[in-house]
Amino acid sequence: MRGRRHRAAAALAGLLALGAAATGCGIRPTSVPVDAGPAPSRVPCEVPDNAVTPQFEGVTAQVYLVCGAQLVTARRSVRIPESTGAADRLRFAQALLDELIAQPSGDEKDAGFTTEVKGPLTVTAAHKNDPAGALRLSRNPADLSALALSQVVCTYAENTPTAPGSQQVVLGGPGEDPARGYTCTSEMKSRPDSAATLGDIPRPTRT
């Protein structure tokens, strides 16, 4: 019994000595948990194939919602203009924005989907000196929450990118500040609560 007590005391003394050595090296013991990224999701984040019921003639578009602390695509029926003019692209961009603002359906909620994009929020045409393909929001992109901005960026990059296959969109606010490029990256999808990385200010290419 005395031997076991001696060994336990020696082990405790060793732990205390190790803690003291760590403190002496500038390492403070702490009980604060370390941020190791979002916890694995326990929600399905998947809506049944028959859950999308078009309410009007259109096509099924992919919009990005929040599920399990990540961005996950959800299918929505969106009216797509027949032509590809600037005005039609603007209407399509507004339709996508409206889908992000709308509350998830019952099936989407059951699967764990939510949205952080809050209305009122509209999209308008690019300003005179903006680059081609730029979109202007009724609020400054920087004023949106990180999650909401990530949803908007990735939804636009998926459906109406500045250039085909670029996964980039050029967004600005209602003021005179220059529009900025935003890229929907895999990091943005996995950690949408992080601030979106601003791209360069694109050079105007409007004609």
Note whether residue 18 is domain-resident: no
- Name which of 145, 147, 155 is nearest 93 in CA terms: 155
Note whether residue 204 is domain-resident: no
Calpha distance 184→156 (Å, rounded): 9
Coil, strand or helix: which one is 88?
helix
* Phi, psi torsion values for 136, nearest 5 degrees: -110, 125
Note whether residue 119 is domain-resident: yes
pLDDT in tens, 44-82: 798 876 655 455 556 788 999 999 999 999 998 887 655
pTM value > 0.75? no
Q: How confident is the model at residue 12 (pLDDT cuts 50, 70, 90)?
A: very low
- Using the structure block, give the residue that is written with the tokens 């500040």: 177
pLDDT in tens, 141-179: 999 999 999 999 999 999 888 777 788 899 999 999 999
Calpha distance 170→183 (Å, rounded): 9
Other Cβ atoms less than 10 A from the Cβ of 51: the count is: 15
Q: Which two tokens stand for residue 132?
A: 């081609």
Calpha distance 40→42 (Å, rounded): 7
Q: Which two tokens stand for residue 165?
A: 């296959």
Q: How many domains does the chain have?
A: 1
Q: Which domain holds residue 129?
A: 49-190
Write out the H or E segment, with its range, that includes residue 61. strand 59-67
The alpha carbon dihedral of 5, 11, 17, 19 has a sign of negative
With 70 as the cut, is the pLDDT of residue 97 above it?
yes
Calpha distance 191→34 (Å, rounded): 16
